[in-house]
Structure formats: C-alpha cells, structure tokens
Structure 1
C-alpha cells in the first residue's frame, strides 16, 4: 500500500515533486509533508535533470574535485560530476576527474572516511550533495567531516531544501519552501500533531517511508 501522493509541478517542466501530507516522524523531527525523492535518486532521466538544474547554481569558477553523496544520492552525484566536467568547471586534482564518495556513518551519526577514501577529501574541494536539507543536521555533520579530514567545502546542493544556507554556505536546491508554502518541521517534543493526539502516519528517512 502506497501513501496518497500528489505531484507538485515546479519551474522545470521535466521535474515535479511527489508529496504526501500528514504527520511524519524523521530521526530528527516531525514534519507535515513527506517529500518522496526516490525517482530523482534512482531514475537516470530525472537524476540527470536534477544535476543539470543544480549545476546552474554554480559558476565555472567554482572548483569541485569531489562530490560527497549523502542520503543515497550517488546516481545524481555521478550525473553532477558529468555535468561539472562537461561544462568546463575547474578541478585541481592530478587526475583531472571528479571523485564520487559516500561516507560511512558511526552510531553517533558522525561521518567516517576510510584510509582509501580520505585522499579524495583531504586537500580537495568537496561539493556536498543531499536529498533534502530541512533541519540541516545531516549536512552539518558532513561539513564538519570534510573540514576534519582537511577538505574545503565547495558548496551544498540538495533536491529539496527549506533553508537558503547552512553553516554560512548557500544551499542550492531544485525545490524550495515556495513550492510547498505550508511545509512545517517540529521538534518531536513540540509537535502540535502529537499534542493533539494525532497518530504518526509513517516513519520516514532518506530511504523512504514505513507506514505505521
């Protein structure tokens, strides 16, 4: 059984947002919309369209050596790397290519890079790519990790974002709160749905949703 998804059009004819309204719980917060970005992450045509749109937010002077993929965005990351190399963006690494890296997560939600992937971060200009940036916790952890391993943050990109910047870095996204003006995120202890006794419809994370 799927949820009652509706499609929201956006400025891009070949991209739309699949959303369900309700009471949803993430690991960090409670939200009133579930935004399903599965197709953008897994369908090549949509991933390409996302990458093309995100690249337009960056100037050719932006240096990108590595795309750090969070939330299962590796397909988009590969398309993004392809766009960045095609459009003549500069990269500084010796191989004149772009690395696509996925971090490991420790139990404390910190990001970890192994010895074989660390050279793709250390001294590199890293573009952080996420499925969504709402509370910003995931992206903050990524920024901290990039800096800890001696990398430089080249930018933040996401499919969906409710914030314009995170830790002082601008967030480039395809969809923004203007596409969903009544989108709300609440701390789990302050959630008005919970206070009103309204049951949670589903647990959601970057992999999808599980109805309760």
Structure 2
C-alpha cells in the first residue's frame, strides 16, 4: 500500500500534509475509497506541533474555554501540543493549576468506554474538547461524546486530523483536513458500496490507529 500513497496538503496551511492510499477499505461502519494515514501527525513531534497550531487557529472565536482534552485513536502526542497552544492565550482555563488536562478513556471487555475513578475529576464539570485521528460516519464520535456526557463533562467541541463533517448534532467539529483537501474521497454504507457491487474485495480494515490487511 505504501507505494500507492499520495500526499495531500491542508488548504489552510500547505506546510501540513498527510498521506492517503486509494483503494477499497472498510471501517467499523462504512466502506471508503481512501485509507487516510495520519501516523506522522500523531508520532512525529515537529509535525504534531504544527498540526496542533493549525487546529488551535481553527478553534479561535468558536471555543472560549478548554479544561480537558480527551484523546482517542492514539492522539495523545498531538493532544499535548494542542494543550500547549491553548495555554498560550486566547482560551480560558478553569483548572486549579491553570493547565489543560489530557486524558484517554479505557475500553472494557465489551467495547464500552469508561474513565476510572482517578481520571474522573478531569472530566466531571470540565469543559472538554474531544480529539480524534479520523472521522468518517461519526459513530465513534457520538459514542465518545455520550461517554464524556455520562461522566459529567461539558463538551465544547470536537477536533480531528481528518474529518468528513463540521458538526455532530449541535457540537462543532474542527478537522485539520476535510474532504475538500482530498479530492475524490468517498464513504459508503456497506450495502451501497460500488466496489462490493463490482466484486472488488476489501483490501484492509482501517481505523484511527492504522490498517490490517485482509
């Protein structure tokens, strides 16, 4: 797959790029025609720092207060740099120590998201930003938001490296890359997938962590 990867540039900042591979791929709830590889923006410090700066700029004038960033899909490095950007100014913080908390939920044996007792104070009563690697149908986002609300968090926004939507319900989404940045990107319900109808096999299962070939 690596030899077919195409580089795409963020329209708002052409110093930030991601790689995508065309083909027939499946997520947990949809089929897509590009595998979006966000690995570099999650694990390389310099690129994560630049991505965090760009996400912060997208949030300006839309979000005023962030106490906690909830990181999904292994986005903790990006979340740490985003917290640093938010603490530089323009965003309020109500935490006692005047710093942004960065946490991730645990997934139990029946695939439920939960926060342990020692982490719950970082959620309960806090203004929470949800950070993900990728968003396609929004199902993972909705499940994550339900978890945050269950533990008493006040959701102020959602951000992602790549996303197909700008709102989930009444919650604003601030994606670094959108479908406008990836010409030709499509997502399909499994029963409507044109690749399946043509008998083209699924190449890999994909999510925000990466891919597994079939």
Structure 1 length-normalised TM: 0.94
1:200 shift after superposition: 1.1
CA RMSD, 1 decimal: 1.6
1:81 shift after superposition: 0.4
1:207 aligns with 2:213: no
- Gapped regions of structure 1 (runs ≥ 5): none
C-alpha distance 4-109 of structure 1, shift in aligned 2 (>3 A): same
1:128 shift after superposition: 0.4
The equivalent of 1:26 in structure 2 is 27
1:139 shift after superposition: 0.9
- Gapped regions of structure 2 (runs ≥ 5): none
> Could you give the per-residue CA deviations for residues 122-156 of structure 1, whole angstroms, max 9, x where no partner exists?
00000000111211011111111111111100111
The equivalent of 1:16 in structure 2 is 17
Structure 2 length-normalised TM: 0.93
Q: How many residues align?
A: 212
CA distance in 2 between counterparts of 1:193 and 1:7 reads 23
CA distance in 2 between counterparts of 1:57 and 1:204 reads 27
For the residue of structure 2 that corresponds to 1:123, the secondary structure is coil
> Could you give the per-residue CA deviations for residues 82-124 of structure 1, whole angstroms, max 9, x where no partner exists?
0011125211121211110011123454320000001100000
8 Å CA contact retained: 2:68, 2:122:
yes
The equivalent of 1:55 in structure 2 is 56
The equivalent of 2:43 in structure 1 is 42
The equivalent of 1:4 in structure 2 is 4
> Could you give the per-residue CA deviations for residues 137-186 of structure 1, whole angstroms, max 9, x where no partner exists?
11111111111111100111111111111121111011111112321111
CA distance in 2 between counterparts of 1:9 and 1:95 reads 37
1:188 shift after superposition: 1.8
